[in-house]
Structure 1
């Protein structure tokens, strides 16, 4: 039965869905969204030297909170040779605690690294672990962390990588969520650039990710599926691509809203841009519902 489902799932490229409601909510990039205590929480890139959270009771009105991590408080990121930046955060609740993962770059002349802080709640405060969780090098860029706790086995996985090396890697985390247990070998899926995200629904593991270049019209979201959180992947094709109005949609997260039982995607895009890029200015975060077919395929998303 599982084999049949898997074959049907990828029998063809997903067809376009009907126009769906979407709302551009605020300036930011690389959104990770969580739902807790009746509130929605979005963690974004923005500010370069700090990472903050936005909260909302209804996905419409958003309030920015205090910074969760400041670069000046991450002692291990200090280097007089180059200015560093923070980006691509991911917040996860596991084992009774909240854990906040983030990227420190650039890759050159110092290697990019992934850090993690433990937080008292979705709004912080957060305390850094005091050391990098993963360090890049040898052609691998340690960026864009995404942590997924397998609902079937309760195993926590960390996915990361992309950009210059365009390589996906994965690790199993220890129960403390701030240290590595071991690395798991995974394939890099077709057209992978960065921004991996994993979610699970009805027996299917969905690996989605950004393809193309982050600051031009080639940026888009693709996905692949598997029957385990580490593959092997079956490529599902493009899921969200730019159009004449909104360009370069990418670096996203999915969530199931407990209030209405629907699945949504949060992503960023360039608005008010002309041509193929490269673009300048601020990207904006957008949220919209997604639709699954009966066989598990995600309908192609059209922006509104």
Structure 2
């Protein structure tokens, strides 16, 4: 009897230890372009449902109290709620303002100013939705400064001014959102969309502030290839200028390829995490991407240390 108990105990040990780390990917399914947020002591991740454009017509969300166990919230938004969208909903960015949750997204993958689509906004009373169209039309539906209206990120500055940072096709714009997110506030020089494109920029913008410095991050390379990666720059203003410093996230041929299009979490314990997608080793389908999380850190000068992508992920962390 004692021997049987010992066997049961030994088999249970790996299960116990595994529960203390997230593992990568952190939840099953093909998901990409994850935006991570903290709402009311809960971690949230809003990814792209990674499929062919004609099938990529909805979004799921995931929530967790500890970075280990994730709850799936299915179809928080789909094209039935966004009448002008008919395909390729992707790269969500979310923010909370005045008790409402605003979900920014790209749709239709427009290729010129004559097509219908671009960046939209949806709103809900809860982080899990359901989300409804905020405007009934795209917020950005044209190519300003040659930037394709995709890969949007909503950034809240220290003075509570919200910005929309976005852009594909190797161009990135920043614009000041108005108070109810129905449009934009022109800059003092009369322009609305300012280009802040750094060297090497392709898509996937993200920005945060640390110790008074603005860190601007983006993805480089082709999203279907193994060399997709993340680089960054720093400045004293959200408007830059941003001079490229270097890559901090890239493939590891022994772990995964195509590591990119990320977001960053910073919690009250001063822990930093990078949430991103990558492609499993040997996977050839461009849409087969999974969502992962790893630790992110800084050196004594405030530069971001290169991130080691892992199979283990991160340790359990309750907010």
- TM bucket, shorter chain: 0.7 to 0.9
Match of 1:88 among 86, 91, 97: 91
Shift of 1:21: 8.8
**Structure 1 contact 251–268 (Cα < 8 Å) conserved:** yes
User: For 1:27-66, what aligned pairs fall within 5 Å after superposition?
Assistant: 27=29, 28-46=31-49, 48-66=56-74
Please list the CA deviations of residues 26-55 of structure 1 after superposition, one character each: whole Å capped at 9, or x if unmatched.
231000011112211100100611112111
Structure 2 unaligned blocks of 5 or more: 1-20, 50-54, 187-191, 311-319
Preserved contact between residue 173 and residue 195 of structure 2 (Cα < 8 Å): yes
Sort the Cα spacing of 1:195 and 1:149 in 2 relative to 1 into closer, same or farther, 3 A: same
After superposition, what is the alpha-carbon deviation per residue over 1:178-201, rounded to whole angstroms, capped at 9, x for unaligned? 322232423311111100001111
SS across alignment from 2:84: helix
Give the superposition deviation at 1:238: 0.7
Distance change >3 Å, CA 51–CA 21, structure 1 → 2: closer
Asked which structure has the greater CA Rg, the reply is: 2
> Which one of 139, 156, 160 corresponds to residue 149 of structure 1?
156
- Of 202, 224, 247, 1:193 maps to 202
Aligned residues: 273
Partner of 2:246: 237
Q: CA RMSD in A?
A: 2.0
Cα distance in 2 for partners of 1:262, 1:286 equals 16
Instruction: State the shift of 1:25 in Å.
Output: 0.7
Q: CA offsets, 1:173-223, max 9 Å, x none? A: 001123222324233111111000011111110100000000101210000
Q: Which deviations, in whole Å up to 9, do the C-alpha atoms of 1:38-92 show, x marking residues without a partner?
A: 21110010061111211111111112103222112211235xxxxx220100111
The normalised TM-score by structure 2 is 0.81
Which of 68, 75, 91 is matched with 2:76 structurally? 68
Distance (whole Å) between structure 2 residues aligned to residue 112 and residue 166 of structure 1? 19
Aligned equivalents of 2:206, 2:156: Cα separation in 1: 12
Q: Is the Cα–Cα contact under 8 Å of residues 21 and 289 in structure 1 kept in the other structure? A: no
| Deviation at residue 302 of structure 1 after TM alignment | 1.4
Give the distance between the partners of 1:215 and 1:194, measured in 2 at CA.
13
Q: Matches of 1:125 and 1:172 in 2, distance apart?
A: 26
Q: Is the 8 A contact 1:220 1:249 kept in 2?
A: yes
**Gaps in structure 1 of 5+ consecutive residues:** 1-19, 79-83
1:108 CA drift (Å): 3.6
Distance 1:219 1:279 in 2: 14
- Judged with a 3 Å threshold, the aligned counterparts in structure 2 of structure 1 residues 254 and 294 are, in CA distance, closer, same or farther, namely same
Are 1:119 and 2:124 an aligned pair? yes
TM-score, normalised to structure 1, is 0.84
Alignment partners' CA distance in 1, 2:116 and 2:239: 26
Runs of 4+ in 1 over 6 A off after TM superposition: none
User: Does the CA-based 8 Å contact 1:51-1:70 persist in structure 2?
Assistant: yes
